[in-house]
Structure 1
Amino acid sequence: MPGMPSLHALAAMILTISMFVAFARGRVATEIVSLVTIALIALGLYFFPLDGQHQTDGLALAFSGFGHPALITICALMVMGRGLVVTGALEPVTRLLASVWKINTQLGMLVSLLLAMVLSTMVNDTPVLVLLLPVFVGLAEKGAMAASKTLIPLNAAVLIGGMATTIGTSTNLLVVSIAADLGMAPMRVFDFTPIVAVAALVALPYLWLVMPRLLPDNGTNFTRNRRTFAATLRVDDDSDLVGQTPRDLQTRLPDGFAFEGSLDRQITANSRLPVSGTHTALEDALRTLKARVAPAWVIERIGAAAKSKGSDVVVVEMALTAESRLVGLTIPSSGVAGQFGVAVLGIHQQQRGPDQGRHEYSELQLRPGDVLLVMGPLAEIEEFAESDRLLLLEGVTEVPRRSKALLAAVIMFGSVATASMGLWPIAVSALAGAILMFVTGCVKFNRVGRALSANVIVLVAASIAIGRVILESGAAAWLGGVMSAGLQHLPPAMILACVMLFVTLLTNFASNAAAATVGTPIAFNIAQTLGLPPEPLVLAVLFGCNLCYATPIAYQTNMLIMDEGRYNFSDYMRTGVPLVALMATTLSLMLVFFYM
C-alpha cells in the first residue's frame, strides 16, 4: 500500500471531489463550476507551485485546456454537426424511418435503434437525439408506440453508438487525448469499434424487446407542432400536378395534410387549391408535390434579402393579439409581404369559421388568437411582430439550405474517412472539415454561436486542467497504487470491470467529462503498476464514461428526453442498471479477448 499522498496530491483530490459534488448537486451552472475550477488551479499553483516548477508554469497548466487539440477537435465537430442539421442532410434518413414505422411498429423500433447507433458513431450524441426526437413524438401522436416507451431505449442506442468511435462523443476525444498526453500510442477513429459492435449486438434485444416493457405508458398528450394551418397550394405552369385531381395524390400525401373541398376537381396550371396541415406536414407535402404556399415574388424577395444580409430564412408561429392592426383584415389586405418582406404561409384559427375550407386562406378574416405561420429573415420577422403586435409562440426554425445537403454530407464523410485512414490526425481532419463548412456556406460565420456550446468548451478546458493536475501532483500515481493493491489478485476481466464500474459510478452521478479526467490517469497508472497494456484499461475508462443510463443527470440527452417522456428518476434506474451490468460484462470480456 502506498503511503500518504503529498499536499499537492491531496489538494488535487479535494478539488476534484468538490467539482464532482458541485456537478451532482446542480445548484450552480456547469460552466460556472468549470471556470471556478480553472481559477482555483491557476491561483493555487501560482502561490504554491509544484515541485521544480515556476509560478508561471502553474498558470500555463490551468489554461492549457483552451488550446488543447482535443478542444479544437470538439469545436470543429460541433460545426460540422451543425452543418448536417441546417442543410437538412439527415432529413432523408428521418423520413425513411417514419415510413418504416408505418409498416410495422416492432420493425420500426428495431430499425430506429440501429439507425440511432450508426448515426451517433459519426455525429455527436445530442444532435442525433435532437434530430430523431420529434420523429418519435410525432409517431406517438399518430398512434404508434407511446413516446414514454421509446425515448429511453432510443437514448440508450444513441449513447451506445457514441462510444464506438473516438469522435462519437466529446468525452471519447477527451479520454484519447489525455491518454496520448500520458504517453499511450494515439488511437484511430475505428480502433475499438468492433468491441462496441459486439456489445451493441448483445444489448440490442434488451433495448428492443425488454426495455419498452419496463417503462410506463405515459400517453401521448403532446400538443407541440399540432396546430393545423389553412393554406393555399399554388401550382406552377410546368408542375407535374397539372391534369391530376387531389384524389389522385392521396397516397403521396403525408399524415396531417389534406386538400379542402372537392377531391375530384382537375388541377390546372396556376391552380390555387385550399389545403390544411400541420407545420411539419405542410413542409413534407410541399417537398413531395414540388409546389408552394406563398406567391413566387414574395419567396424570391425573401431569398434575395437573406442573401444580401448573409442571414438565414426562418419559419415561426406567431399569435395575433387583440391590439394587432391585422384583426379584421385578410392577409392580402394587410400588406405585410410588401411592407415587411415576410410571407404568411398559413393561418390556424382557434375556431374553424364557416367559410374555412371553401375559400383560400388568404380570404379568411383574422381574429385575436389566430396563429400565423410566417417565413422570412429573422430581422424582418421581429420587425413585423413588434410593429403589428404579434406574439412569437414557437422557437425559430431555420429553413434548411437543402441545396448544400449533399455537400455537407461529403465534407463530414471526408473528414471522418481521412482521420480513420490515418492520413491526418483527427484534429487536422475535423478542423479542415469545419473550415470547408464555412467556406462553402453550409454553416454561416454569423451563426457559428449556434454550433458551438460554451458550456462544453469551458467544461472540456477545465477537465483537461484537472487531468494534468491529478497527474503532475502525484494524485494519479497514489490513487493508482491504492487501486492496484486491491486489484492485483483479480483476473484481467475483473480488473477491467472494476475500473469500468468505478468510472460508471462517477459519470452517472457527476460529469462524464470529469469522470474521464480522473479515470484516465488512474487507469494508466494501474496498467504500469500491474504490468498490463494501457489500451484496455484506458478503453475501460472510455466505455465507463459512456455507460450513463442509470440517472437523468448522467448526460444531457438523458435530461432532454425526461420531459418528453414524463419520466421520473426510478424509470432510469429500473431500465439503466441492467443495461449497465450487461454492457460492462460484455465490454470487459471483449477487451480481454482483443488486448490480453
Structure 2
Amino acid sequence: MAFPSLHAAAAMIVTVSVFIAFARGRMTAEIISLLTIAIIALGLYFFPLPHAAPTDGIALAFSGFGHHALITICALMVMGRGLVVTGALDPAARLLERVFKFNQQLGLLVSLLAAMFLSMGVNDTPVLVLLLPIFVALTARGGLPASKTLIPVNAAVLIGGMATTIGTSTNILVVSIARDLGMRPIGVFDFTPIVLVAALVALPYLWLVMPRLLGDNSPENVQAQRRFFTRLRVPAESDLVGRHFDEILDRLPNDFRFEERPSGPFEAGQRLRISGTHDALEEAIRSLKGQVAPGWVIDRITRTAAELGEDVQVVEMVVTADSRLVGRTLSTSGIADLYGVAVLGIHKPEKLLHNEPMDAHGDIRMAEGDVLLVMGVPRGLQEFASTDSLLQLEGAREVPRRSKALLAAAIMVSSVGMASVGLLPIAIAALGGAITMFVTGCVKFDRVGRALSAKVIVLVAASIAIGRLILETGAAAWLGEAMASGLQYLPPAGVLAAIMLFVTLLTNFASNATAATVGTPIAFSIATQLGMPPEPLILAVLFGCNLCYATPIAYQTNMLIMAEGSYTFGDYVRTGVPLVLLMVGTLSALLVYTYRM
C-alpha cells in the first residue's frame, strides 16, 4: 500500500496535535481553535493543495465562520435564549422539578428516557434545543447541576437518534448513499430493535456512572448566595389564605424560611417576616401567590417597562456610608414614590445578622454595608443608585417577559416541527425562528451577546476546517484503504467493530457528514471483497456516525451544551470514550447475532 501524500500526512498530524492540545487543557479552547485555523490557513497558503491556488487554502481555513452548521447553532442558541427570558419553559421545568424533588436519581432516569424516545421520531438537534433550557432552569431551582446532567442527556438524545432512519440527517445520508450503491432500501424501523437493546446496556452507564465522572461547575459553588430579609404580604387572592403553616411546608423552596409564623391560619392582609435567596424568594412568591412589595409598585414598574420598551431588571445595590438610607426603614424611605423601584429584600453582613436594628413596628433599619435587592427599569434603577449613594453590583437579572411566553413557545415548536417533518432544513427553520424571536421582541437585539458563546463559535469554525482538511487532502480515503487491507484476517464481529471505530474516529474529529460520505462506500466495497452481506456493514457505518460522544467538535448538540455546562474538552473525552467502546462492542455483537454472520 502506498504512503499517504504529504498533505494527507500533515492533515493527520494537525488533527492528532489538536486533540492532544484540547485534552491537555493547558490553553483555552478558544486559543487552540484560533491557532488551528491559523495553522491551516498559513500551511495551505505556502504549500497549497494540488490544482489549488494559495488563496483557496485561506478560504478553506475560514470556511467554518460562514458554514450553515455554525449559523444553525447560533440561531438555536438565540431561540433557546428566547424561551429562557420569557419563562416559556417554566411549567415543564416545574413538572420535572417535582420528580427530581421526589428523587434525583429517578428524575435523571425519567429525563434520559424521555430524551431518548423523543429523538427517535424528532431530529435530535431540535430535541436537545427544547430540553436544554429546561435543565438549565431546573438547575436554578435546586435540581442536579447542569454540568452533571447535560452530557448524559445529550448522549441519550444521540442514542435515540440512532434508532431510526429519520432520527438524524446523517442516518438519511448513509441510507441514501447505500441505496445509490445498489443496496436494498432500509426501512425507518428496520434496525430499531438493535439500538434499543444497545440502549438498555448503555442506560446504566448514562444514569449511574457518567454523572459521577463530571464535576459540579455551578457558579453557586464559587460564592454562596446572599440571603435577603423582607416581609411577605398576603393578598386576598393568595393560596395562603385560610391555610395553616403545616399545610404549605412541602411547597417551600429549600433556601426559604418564615422568620415568624402566624398563630392560626393565614389571613388576607398579613405581613410576615421571611428570608431566602433571590431564587428562593421568587419561587415562593410564585407558588404561594404572595408579594414582597406593594402591588401598586409592581404594576407601576410593569407599565413603565411596557411604555419604554425596556426589560424589568432585578439588581443588587450596596448601601454606602454617604447614603441617606442609613438608619431608615423601607416604609420611611419613600423609595417607591421617588424612583418607581421596589426593594424586594435586604441582606445584612454576617456580623450584623443577629443584631439588626429595627423600628417599633419590627421593620429593619438599613445600615452601611447592607445589600438591597431592587427591581425596576434601568432608568429608575440608575437614578436610585446615583441619588441615594448606592453602589450597584454586577450581575443584573432580567425579569422574565411572561407576556411573550406563549409566543416564544409557539415560535420554537413551529421551527422544530418544520425541521422534524422535513418541510424545511434545520438551518433554515432555526434561522427563521431566531429572526421571528427578534421581530416579536421575545429576544432583544442588544441581548444577543448573552445567547451566543464565543468559545462555541470558534470551536465550530475550527472543527469544520479540520473536517474539510481531512477530506480534501485525501487523509480520510487513505485511512479507509489502510483499514480495508487488514480486515480480511478478522472475524465478522471484528470487521464490524473496526468499521464502526474508523467511522467513529472520523465523526469525532471531522464531521458525521464526512464520516458518512467516506465510510459508506468503503463499507460497501469491503462487503463485496470479503463476501459478506452489505447491510450489517452499512449499519456499522450508520451507528459509527452517531457515536459522537468523545469530543465537543463531533456534533452540533455537543457544542450547544458546552457553554451551559461549562465543560472542558477533557469532560467529553473522559465520559465519551467509555461509552463509545461500550456501544461499539454491544452493537457489533448484536449485528452478528441479527444477521447470523
Q: When the two structures are superposed, what TM-score results if normalisation uses the length of structure 2?
A: 0.76
Within-5 A mapping of 1:206-355: 206-208=205-207, 227-236=226-235, 239=238, 241-242=240-241, 249-250=248-249, 252-264=251-263, 269-320=268-319, 326-338=325-337, 340-349=339-348, 350=350, 351-353=352-354
Any idea what the Cα deviations from partners look like across 1:417-444, whole Å, max 9, x if unmatched? 2222121222222222222222332222
Equivalent positions of 1:413-492 (< 5 A) are 413-491=413-491
Relative to 1, partners in 2 of residues 1:304 and 1:208: Cα closer, same or farther, differing over 3 Å?
same
How far the C-alpha of 1:364 sits from its partner, in A, is 0.6
Structure 1 residue matching 2:273: 3-state secondary structure: strand
Q: C-alpha offsets along residues 284-307 of structure 1, whole Å, 9 cap, x if unaligned? A: 221122232122343234334444
Distance 1:432 1:499 in 2: 38
The answer for the alignment partner of 2:61 in structure 1 is 62
Tell me which residue corresponds to 1:144.
Answer: none
What are the residue-to-residue correspondences of 1:9-24 with 2, within 5 Å?
A: 9-24=8-23
2:155 corresponds to 1:160: yes
Give 2:183's aligned residue: none
Query: Quick check: 575-584 or 369-378, which moved more?
Result: 575-584
For 2:157, give the aligned amino acid. G
Matches within 5 A, 1:384-399: 388-390=389-391, 392=393, 395-399=395-399
Paired AA for residue 390 in structure 1: L
Residue 199 of structure 2 is aligned to residue 204 of structure 1:
no
Aligned residue in 1 for 2:404: 404
Q: Distance in 1 between matches of 2:346 and 2:459?
A: 44
Q: How much is the aligned-residue C-alpha RMSD, in angstroms? A: 4.8
1:88/1:193 Cα in 2 relative to 1: closer, same or farther (>3 Å)? Answer: farther
Shift of 1:211: 6.8
* 8 Å Cα contact 2:78-2:443 kept in structure 1: yes
Query: For residues 245 and 108 of structure 1, what CA distance do their matches in structure 2 show?
Result: 30
Q: Secondary structure at the match of 2:26?
A: coil
Is contact 1:484-1:530 (8 Å) kept? yes
Name the structure 1 match of 2:555: none
The change in CA–CA distance for 1:108 and 1:13 in structure 2 (over 3 A counts) is: closer
Q: Deviations over 1:102-148 (max 9, x none)?
A: 4456544533544565789512486565334345xx368xxxxxx8x
Further displaced range: 584-593 or 466-475: 584-593
Report the secondary structure of 1:78's partner residue: helix
CA-to-aligned-CA distance 1:69-100 (integer Å, 9 cap, x gap) = 22222122112222222222332233233323
Counterpart contact for 1:225–1:278, Cα < 8 Å: no
Measure the CA separation in 2 of the matches of 1:119 and 1:391: 44
The answer to whether residue 549 in structure 2 is matched with residue 546 in structure 1 is: yes
1:523 aligned onto 2:529: no
One-letter code aligned to 1:464: I
Determine if contact 1:66/1:461 at 8 Å carries over to the other structure: yes
Count of residues in correspondence between the two structures: 562
Q: Structure 1, unaligned stretches of length 5 or more?
A: 141-146
Residues 227 and 278, structure 1, Cα contact 8 Å, conserved in 2: yes
Change (3 A) 1:31 1:208: closer
CA offsets 1:148-182 (integer angstroms, 9 cap, x no match): xx974x35531322314779xxxx98978998999
What percent of counterpart residues are identical?
55
Q: 1:496 to 1:562 in 2, by over 3 A?
A: farther
SS in 2 for 1:423: coil
Distance 1:465 1:547, change over 3 A: closer
Q: Does 1:584 align with 2:584?
A: yes
Amino acid paired to 1:123 = L
SS at match of 1:429: helix
Q: Please say which of residues 18-27 and 191-200 is displaced more in the overlay.
A: 191-200
Instruction: Pick closer, same or farther for the CA change 1:513–1:367 going to 2, 3 Å.
Output: farther
| Secondary structure of 2:547's aligned partner | helix
- For residues 86 and 251 of structure 1, the distance between their equivalents in structure 2, rounded to whole angstroms, comes to 27
Alignment partner of 2:548: what SS? helix
Structure 2, gaps ≥5 residues long: 181-185, 528-533, 553-557
Q: Call closer, same or farther: CA 1:239–1:164 in 2, change over 3 Å.
A: same
Change (3 A) 1:5 1:437: same
Q: Secondary structure at the match of 2:110?
A: helix
| 2:128 corresponds to which of 123, 134, 144 | 123
CA distance in 2, matches of 1:184, 1:35: 39
2:465 is matched by which residue type in structure 1? A
Contact 1:496 1:540 in 2 (8 A): no
- Inter-CA distance 63–93: structure 2 relative to 1 (3 Å threshold): same
Aligned AA (1:441): G
State the shift of 1:496 in Å: 4.5
Counterpart of 1:131 in structure 2: which amino acid? A
**Distance across 1 between alignment mates of 2:330 and 2:187:** 57
Q: 1:203, CA displacement in angstroms?
A: 2.5
1-side partners of 2:431 and 2:445: how far apart? Answer: 15
22-31 or 258-267: bigger deviation: 258-267
CA distance in 1 between counterparts of 2:187 and 2:436 reads 22
